[in-house]
Amino acid sequence: MRIAVTGKTGQVVTSLIERGAAAGYEVIALGRPELDLADPALVARALEAAAPDVIVSAAAYTAVDKAESESDLAYAVNGAGAGAVAHAARALGVPLVHVSTDYVFDGTLDRPYVESDPTGPTGVYGASKLAGEQAVLAAHGNNSAVLRVAWVYSPFGANFVKTMLRLAGDRDEVSVVADQLGNPTSALEIADAILLVATNLVADSNPALRGIFHMTASGEASWADFAEAIFAASDKKGGATAQVKRITTADYPTPATRPANSRLDCSLVAQVHGVVMPDWRQSLDRVIARLQPAAN
């Protein structure tokens, strides 16, 4: 199966290239300059040239805080850009897998979010990603799966795990927010799940396989819980470790408001697509093993 994925360097894209190759898929990564989400004409041309069996829309503007001052760019990439990819997929007559985010919710519920819960982003990033979801479903909803992921980390790029390990190399104590809950999710697991969903879409025209799905690792944590697990796993490998000082969101103000509750209920994607991710702690151990090989 030939998969065209938007982006070249993101965590999900890099993981998809690695996992796709290991599973025998042909993954074609398309990014600037040949594909620029801010230029719909380039999007259509690049995807047509790739001649894919399925398209994965993974590229995005992900600078959550910076988006507050760069709203035009965020909307151009995450909203109109996602729509351009969907229009191209429709023109080519191929399925589309679109990667979205937990930030489409305001985080005020006291339980994990299900797909039918009302959206209500609190910042530009989340609002622009919601605009992208809407553009995808409007342009190609009868042959698209929108996958909402959360708290993504991996051996690649910049992410929370790598930040914690870097900070632990410089200090004995790290302050981490303890009143935000979510599902830490490895991009490697996301990539495997995308491959399964993409295969299902290509093989089966069942409308039940299309629509919006939540797709994160099993289990939940606060950022402070996550940090403690990172340091424990690193310590077992002889790597950097630190004590975690638990603080509140109010203690660590940011330009963009983070959802207090980012937990996603993933029952639907398990039932429909057969995607069941392992507990986040298992996935974390595998990523730490790659980032922090055992000391000799």
Active site residues: 125
Per DSSP, what are the bridge partners of residue 214?
148
Beta strands in the chain (DSSP E): 2-6, 26-30, 54-57, 96-101, 144-149, 152-153, 173-177, 181-182, 185-186, 211-214, 221-222, 243-247
Per DSSP, what are the bridge partners of residue 147?
99, 213
Question: What does the DSSP assignment read for 77-112?
Answer: IIIIIHHHHHHHHHHHT--EEEEEEGGGS-S--SSP
Is the CB of residue 100 less than 8 Å from the CB of residue 133?
Answer: yes
Q: How many CB atoms lie within 10 A of CB 214?
A: 25
Is the CB of residue 130 less than 8 Å from the CB of residue 121?
Answer: yes
CA-based nearest residue to 270, from 103, 107, 115? 115
CA distance linking residue 11 with residue 13, whole number of Å: 6
CA distance linking residue 73 with residue 77, whole number of Å: 6
